[in-house]
Amino acid sequence: MDLNLIPNEQQFRDEFRAWLKTNVPEEWKGGTSAEDRDDYIEYLRDWQRKLYEGGWAGISWPKEYCGRGASLMEQAIFQEELARANAPQLIGTIGLSLVGPTIIAMGTEAQKSRYLAPILSGEEIWCQGFSEPNAGSDLASLGTKAARDGDDFRINGQKIWTSFAQMADWCLLLVRTDSQAPKHKGITCLLADMRSEGVSVRPLRQMSGDSGFNEVFFSNVRVPVTQVLGEVNEGWTTAITALMNERANLGTGIQVVFKRNLEALIARSRTVERNGRPASEDPIVRQKLAQAYLELEILRLNTNRALTSLSKTGIPGPEGSTQKLYWSEMNQRTQQTAQEILGPYGQLKDFDNGIWEYAYLRARGNTIEAGTSEIQRNIIAERVLGLPKSY
């Protein structure tokens, strides 16, 4: 057991940290919200192009596909450094972390040469058409239909909770190609052009006020059969590959965001009052801050253990479920602690720029998005503990 970074990892971190220092856009560092810009999407594309040109896009991809062949630990360091530098988000994150690796694993040579380079450069943005109104936790019951029509599939149906759909050029789309087969056996994965006729996107406004998700409607959308990723009716395998490829994301970036948030809360606790004294002197507040701190530190440690184990086995397992379950519930507890410490100030939209009001509401979604806590517990029970299937 040695928890120090090895020289390679250290070097990787120093190099990327130095690169970020000179390359994260100044006006972004100043705290202006890029979302207010008219050229928001272009701005983010430029940022990704900058990363690409610096050799920092798709670091986990093999070198033959212009990646860096970064180790799992380096991928974690990459996420941490991005978050630490408070860099703009990666607009192409779904392409980089999910679609690209899946095309590398399962795509034809033609697909690889057509799609991989624009993913890295940010030229083409991807979204992921998986969830449907009636297929959430039970994803395999999805019903968007693809009927064979000459050299095309004709797609009809609806996807939901689709991040980036409003700006995406392409969609990794799961459709049903055989409605007679058992539910896992009739699914096909397509590379669908979002500019096709019959695709419409409607943003969904969340309780926190922002619109991170969309509904996507497909009405007689034609997708050529050459656009199948993997095999027809074997789309479930492709989907699992895609999801498992997200292995670097064990909560490595989000921890840094949480840490900054907690540090801000601790600083705030010194200025807001409780019983005429700084809240930071109140024994109950101190207990709660310490609890939030220790839970966050344990998240970091659990992540490092999961990374170690993944690095050794090379097989992404259910570690992601344990991590996701832990951080999502932790963040809800911590945001409640923030609300208790700040009292009515915590609900104000112009106190600290409204971050506490926003964070509290945003945290509510954490235990639902990306697999509910219930689903995560099912996965842990069945795949880690070996308990009998419940459904």
User: Which parts of 219-278 interact with other proteins (CB under 8 A)?
Assistant: 239-240, 243, 246, 249, 253-254, 257, 260-261, 263-264, 266-269
| φ/ψ bin of 73: left (φ > 0), alpha (ψ from -120 to 50), beta (otherwise) | alpha
Q: Which residues are catalytic?
A: 246
Burial class (CB in 10 A: 0-12, 13-18, 19+), 251: buried
Element (H, E) at 137: none
Spatial separation of the C-alpha atoms in residues 391 and 381, rounded to whole Å: 12
Which of 167, 58, 49 is closest to 102 using CA atoms?
58
Residue 4 tokens read as: 């120090």
What residue has token string 């380096």?
74
Residue 189 tokens read as: 């994965």
Judged by beta carbon, residue 148 or residue 377, the one nearer other proteins is 377
204 forms part of the interface with other proteins (CB under 8 A): no
- Please report the sign of the dihedral spanned by the C-alpha atoms of residue 173, residue 175, residue 177, residue 181: positive
Beta bridge partners of residue 135, listed in sequence order: 132
Judged by beta carbon, residue 276 or residue 388, the one nearer other proteins is 388
Cβ 140 to other proteins shortest distance, Å: 6
15 forms part of the interface with other proteins (CB under 8 A): no
47 forms part of the interface with other proteins (CB under 8 A): no
Spatial separation of the C-alpha atoms in residues 201 and 161, rounded to whole Å: 11
Q: Per CB under 8 A, which region of 114-122, 123-131, 143-151, 195-203 contacts other proteins?
A: 123-131
Which of 72, 70, 63 is closest to 312 using CA atoms?
72
46 forms part of the interface with other proteins (CB under 8 A): no
Judged by beta carbon, residue 9 or residue 152, the one nearer other proteins is 9
Q: x/- site string to other proteins, residues 79 to 108, per CB under 8 A?
A: ----x--x-xx---xx--xx----------
56 forms part of the interface with other proteins (CB under 8 A): no
Judged by beta carbon, residue 57 or residue 243, the one nearer other proteins is 243
Q: Which of residues 297-336 bind other proteins (CB under 8 A)?
A: 297-298, 301-302, 304-305, 307-309, 312, 320-322, 324-326
Cβ 159 to other proteins shortest distance, Å: 12
List of residues 6+ apart from 288 with CB closer than 8 A: 337, 340, 341
Q: Which of residues 141-170 bind other proteins (CB under 8 A)?
A: 161, 163-164
Can you tell me which of 57, 119, 155, 359 binds other proteins, judged by CB under 8 A?
359
Give the single-character DSSP code of 167: G
Cβ 152 to other proteins shortest distance, Å: 27
Judged by beta carbon, residue 4 or residue 275, the one nearer other proteins is 4
Looking at residue 124, its amino acid is E
Cβ 90 to other proteins shortest distance, Å: 8
Residues 354, 348 contacting (CB under 8 angstroms)? yes
Residues 188, 235 contacting (CB under 8 angstroms)? yes
Q: Tell me phi and psi for residue 94, to 5 degrees.
A: -70, -40
Can you tell me which of 66, 117, 140, 147 binds other proteins, judged by CB under 8 A?
140
Cβ 150 to other proteins shortest distance, Å: 31
Judged by beta carbon, residue 34 or residue 66, the one nearer other proteins is 34
